[in-house]
Amino acid sequence: MIELQHIVKDYQSGNHKVTALNDINLSVNKGEVFGIIGHSGAGKSTLIRTINLLERPSSGRVFIDGVNMTELASRKLQEERRTIGMIFQHFNLLSSATVADNIAFPLRLAKRSKETVERRVAELIGLVGLDGHENKYPAQLSGGQKQRVGIARALATNPKVLLCDEATSALDPQTTNAILALLLRINRELNITIVLITHEMQVIRSICDRVAVIDGGKIVETGPVSQVFLKPQHPTTREFVEQVSGAVDKGLPLMEEAGEPQTLIRITFIGEQTYEPALYETMRDTNVPFVILQGTVSRLKNTPYGQLVLELHGAQRDTEQAIERLRSRGLDVEVIRHGSDRA
């Protein structure tokens, strides 16, 4: 539904050129929550702002539902933009307008009747959980409440896409979770496609279906969150994954102290596998003693997963058989180190 083709964005900074986006190709499917993660200066804001053409690319094309946004004349572009809502890190509310008037703003711009505006504002206040706050001013609200106003305003004209520009970066962890839960509900109940940018892997892990990692203006990795999270390929992706899971190989120095060159494996369980006793049964049947060096059991959006780093103490033939059996049960087993490699 959103297709970015060969997007390049150059800025002129004094007398030199900064290439903020360097040949970006991305497609976002209808109904998904798509996350873009990157460090400061990677090009995230520029990228998300090219989707609704708040930032016009130097070259390349942006399609929304098959419409080439980059070719539209300004009046038509304005119309199309109403189908794309946007929320911001610092909320961007009108400080001199009440909650209700902030939410009504895009409806009045679109010249909706007074009755339509009143009905829609009341609906949106209920949807985002701001009942009783209609007549307050932004300065009287908490950060989370301000973002709820931002979300209600962005949804006022029934957009098909919601762009979230670091929407939770100014919020504490508890409020962040509440706002992420609201975004997920909006995605599911209203079937609105969400594109968000963030520098926090926690945000990606909680609500995104797919993720793209941006680094130096280029997409360096993209895929389903489970794949990118559990098998990060690019060093930047690994850094982000470590934000939430810790470095998986940190147990290794402990092994050096033990002095025994044993086989070291990482097992990844995902979905229903997480609840099966595959590890216990395999090690019992192959008679391989093991030590758990590191372990995580958590969730990616709705999918449970587990990752364990094990040291296998059996004879090499037995450990190889155990690894084979685990793989035949559908588990992902990565051999971090073969026992014999260091013997």
Ligand X SMILES: Nc1ncnc2c1ncn2[C@@H]1O[C@H](COP(=O)(O)OP(=O)(O)OP(=O)(O)O)[C@@H](O)[C@H]1O
Q: Assess 40 for contact with ligand X (CB under 6 A).
A: yes
Q: Assess 38 for contact with ligand X (CB under 6 A).
A: yes
Of the candidates 272, 255, 261, 276, the one whose C-alpha atom is nearest the C-alpha of residue 319 is 261
Q: How far is the CB of 171 from ligand X (least distance, A)?
A: 16
Q: Assess 18 for contact with ligand X (CB under 6 A).
A: yes
In angstroms, rounded to a whole number, what is the distance separating the alpha carbons of residues 32 and 136?
34
Q: Is residue 282 helix, strand or coil?
A: helix
Which residues partner with 34 through β-bridges? Answer: 195, 210
Contact with ligand X (CB under 6 A): which of 6, 29, 41, 247?
41
Of the candidates 87, 262, 76, the one whose C-alpha atom is nearest the C-alpha of residue 167 is 87
- Subset of 160-199 contacting ligand X (CB under 6 A): 199
Residue 100 to residues 87, 141, 143, Cα–Cα distance (Å): 17, 13, 17
Q: Assess 17 for contact with ligand X (CB under 6 A).
A: no
Contact with ligand X (CB under 6 A): which of 2, 44, 205, 322?
44
Q: Assess 45 for contact with ligand X (CB under 6 A).
A: yes
35 neighbors 210 (Cβ within 8 angstroms): yes
In angstroms, rounded to a whole number, what is the distance separating the alpha carbons of residues 74 and 31?
27
Which residues partner with 37 through β-bridges? Answer: 198, 213
Q: Which stretch binds ligand X (CB under 6 A): 35-43, 115-123, 186-194, 291-299?
A: 35-43
Q: Assess 92 for contact with ligand X (CB under 6 A).
A: no
Q: How far is the CB of 82 from ligand X (least distance, A)?
A: 24
Q: How far is the CB of 8 from ligand X (least distance, A)?
A: 12
Contact with ligand X (CB under 6 A): which of 7, 42, 179, 322?
42
Site residues (CB under 6 A) for ligand X?
Answer: 11, 13, 18, 20, 38, 40-46, 199
